[in-house]
Amino acid sequence: MDQQKNVLVIGAGIAGMKACLLLAKTGKQVYLVEKLPIIGGKTIKNEESFPNLECSTCMVAPVQQEILQHPNIKTLTLSEVEKIEGDIGNFTIIINKKARYVSDTDCIGCDMCFDPCPVSISNEWEENLMNKKAIYVPCSGSLPNVPTIDTEHCYHFNGKQECNACVEACMFEAINFDDKDEKVEIQVGAVIIATGSDIYDVSLLPQFGYGKHPGIYTSMEFERLFASNGPTSGELTIRNSEKTPKSIAIIHCVGRKEQDYCSGICCMYSAKHAHFIKHKLPDTKIYNFYRDICVPGKTYQKFVEKINDIETQMIYHNSMDELNILHNENEITIEYITGKSKKETLTVDMVILASALNPGKDFSDISKMAKIDLDKNGFFITNQEKVGSVESTKPGIFIAGCAEGPKDVQTSVIQAEAAVSGVMSCLDS
């Protein structure tokens, strides 16, 4: 059988997108499979990106645009790989592509269909900090800028009442309730898995009071709170109120003990959060509760020192097990043991839980489907016999970005480039 030259990339975060563009530029046909209705991954949730605090949208939007316009890249959103069969040079892939119910050729992204929709539901992409309609795009600036319909909540699909309001509002006849899910079969020579990672579910640790007080946030919720295209247009106010926090505690390493590894980026994004707060609310007091500060590399140490030393108060505490967040309607109190084994408390208006990253829920299914191994923590493992390799335990399948383990954007992109050179060296040009 002839060797296939096409490549499949799973996951349209920064790692997957960068890999696609490089492959497409070499003339390869690339299939990019993304489970969400939009491309961009976690990076587009950030207003600014450490270490240079550059505007994330300015960094990522040109990449997203190029992906969507490149003739060698076929992007399949709302899609998941269902079957991977074969070996290096000849993989057969079956993809389950869900119906969008809105035509990406007819829709011009005018948003006229949103307002008339009578349904209002929580927007998970916005970390449930705001609502969306049953016909929606996850955030403003979504790419592709074409809405999708949530069939579980849409009245037309769930039969709760008759509704045609979005169809009536659309002057471009772009909405099609008869759209159907599809099975797409493709042949590729190599695969890059760039499915990113999940974020540790802090509600599993009741000592931190997450979900019990409106002032307690996860780090990703805080990213959206700060974002100018986010739920409060970048206003730092406490959930369900107009109140501006006068004091904020950042708790490092939440979930680290349970995950048994350091995610390596939380100290950096926490320093970035402290910088955001000082920039927006210069009089707000910031306290960093830490046991370890992990900032590798030549630029990161300086970034953290500059921000933490000047803009925040660092509080070393003795034990994560003995740090408890107590709350009543008006106050959040952090109870902790100091480095000198003394019990102390501190009352603040807002808490940010710097949560660890963990493997995606479907990593185990993907590993079985692709016949590749996971490491003991549940991330995809690379071939340990080849130093620095990004090849998985099966030839022809490569891993890039946070799918291999938590990391920053820069390292994710470097791995994407390494995965592309791996693909190029295993497929004839």
Ligand X SMILES: Cc1cc2nc3c(=O)[nH]c(=O)nc-3n(C[C@H](O)[C@H](O)[C@H](O)COP(=O)(O)OP(=O)(O)OC[C@H]3O[C@@H](n4cnc5c(N)ncnc54)[C@H](O)[C@@H]3O)c2cc1C
Residues contributing to the site for ligand X (CB under 6 A): 10-16, 33-36, 41-43, 46, 49-50, 80, 194-197, 199, 219-220, 223, 265, 269, 272, 360, 362, 401-402, 407-410, 412
Which residue, 120 or 347, has its beta carbon nearer to ligand SF4? 120
**Residue-wise DSSP of 20-58:** HHHHHHTT--EEEE-SSSS--GGGGG-SEETTTTEEHHH
| Minimum distance, C-beta of residue 230 to ligand SF4, in the bound complex (Å) | 21
317 binds, among ligand X, ligand SF4, none (CB under 5 to 8 A by kind): none
- Which residue in this structure is represented by tokens 């350091």? 262
CA atoms within 13 A on the CB side of 209: 22
362 binds, among ligand SF4, ligand X, none (CB under 5 to 8 A by kind): ligand X
| Minimum distance, C-beta of residue 364 to ligand X, in the bound complex (Å) | 11
| Minimum distance, C-beta of residue 339 to ligand X, in the bound complex (Å) | 27
425: left (phi over 0), alpha (psi -120 to 50) or beta: alpha
Say if residues 39 and 32 touch (Cβ distance below 8 Å).
Answer: yes
Which residue, 238 or 369, has its beta carbon nearer to ligand X? 369
Tell me which DSSP letter residue 102 carries: B
34 binds, among ligand X, ligand SF4, none (CB under 5 to 8 A by kind): ligand X
The footprint of ligand SF4 (CB under 6 A) covers 102, 107-113, 116-119, 133-135, 147, 149, 154-156, 163-166, 169-170, 172, 174-175
Say if residues 188 and 32 touch (Cβ distance below 8 Å).
Answer: no
Which residue, 166 or 199, has its beta carbon nearer to ligand SF4? 166
Say if residues 291 and 299 touch (Cβ distance below 8 Å).
Answer: no
Rounded to the nearest 5 degrees, what angle is found at the Cα of 238, between the Cα atoms of 237 and 244?
A: 45
Which residue, 59 or 337, has its beta carbon nearer to ligand X? 59
Bridge partner list, 358: 198
| Minimum distance, C-beta of residue 8 to ligand X, in the bound complex (Å) | 11
CA gap 321, 104 in Å, rounded: 51
CA gap 54, 62 in Å, rounded: 14
| Minimum distance, C-beta of residue 136 to ligand X, in the bound complex (Å) | 16
CA gap 14, 208 in Å, rounded: 31
35 binds, among ligand SF4, ligand X, none (CB under 5 to 8 A by kind): ligand X
CA gap 281, 248 in Å, rounded: 11
Instruction: Count CB-CB contacts under 10 A for residue 293.
Output: 19
383 binds, among ligand X, ligand SF4, none (CB under 5 to 8 A by kind): none
| Minimum distance, C-beta of residue 131 to ligand SF4, in the bound complex (Å) | 13
135 binds, among ligand SF4, ligand X, none (CB under 5 to 8 A by kind): ligand SF4
| Minimum distance, C-beta of residue 44 to ligand X, in the bound complex (Å) | 8
Which residue, 37 or 189, has its beta carbon nearer to ligand X? 37
